[in-house]
Structure 1
């Protein structure tokens, strides 16, 4: 059977797997963003804590995905819950790091100027630090999104479903069409997500000022 014929016969199953994969990845990224960005901001005010938190997050990143999923399975059982917990743990580090770095590397002159015109600390955060650090934050989110879409294929091993179901079932049954039906949409999804976030990154990145008379 050709791959095109396989898709004609099983297109609805592939679309359902894609839907689950998108939901699993989106939920994991959303939770990671809600945790990581505030944490990264808080860490910019506490350098000692930042070193410890980033070190722990870095250690988590070095643990193989299958090991983390196995731990999630033992602690939380089968299904999407352990998969989301593991994916969130993996997604957090790049966002925390980029949030922390993006804000810490802002030129102190901007902060001093904001204080000089009477801005409060919260005003400085929301009107100066976050806007200037946003390109770095978005870059961290992009990295996490691409990683999570790929790592979510492993979640099928603990019953979370998604495109990984097709890949792992295809591998176990030596069904090339099934493997491709899972791998190709996952790759395309990752590429599209990366391109969309690249556009967002360009939109939030400050443009250099043009001086009249410059070539």
Structure 2
């Protein structure tokens, strides 16, 4: 975020990463990135978020799930989840096209909802863990997975045979690595801020 802020202040032009790549590596790099962003990167991200929204909606309303195929033409078909994803993308696109004020309201509403939900979920988990003692148990065996026995219960030879996994819990590390996908995916939006650099007043100070 800091690097993008510095670049946006240094090169306050519309285009974001396209501008930075063009200035750093030449017009060809900027051209390739620009078209890749338009045809794959940004469109793919929007589609993925739309499908994620549709799948979570289907958990509440099964009728809009992927199993509900709306129509088939040869080998091509559209299910209800895809229809929800497409509709949500078109609807949000239309809302943002109505003006900056409405777009800001939608963005602030969604962001506030997500933050409140995450905080509430974390608080509920902590409260539940404190009430039944599961939080203390989890902290006590933080680096021990559910399959490998506790190191203290093993002989020296057994500890050696289990090796690294018994000491820090490699399965837990794998779970942590997988769980980071969502947070990294959400943080990828930092670069999107720079697309509007040219429209920001005094970007050297405000970005």
TM-score of the superposition, structure 2-length normalised? 0.29
Could you say which structure has the higher strand fraction? 2
Relative contact order (C-alpha < 8 Å, sep 6+): which is higher?
2
- The structure with more helix, counted as a fraction of residues: 1
TM-score by length of 1: 0.29
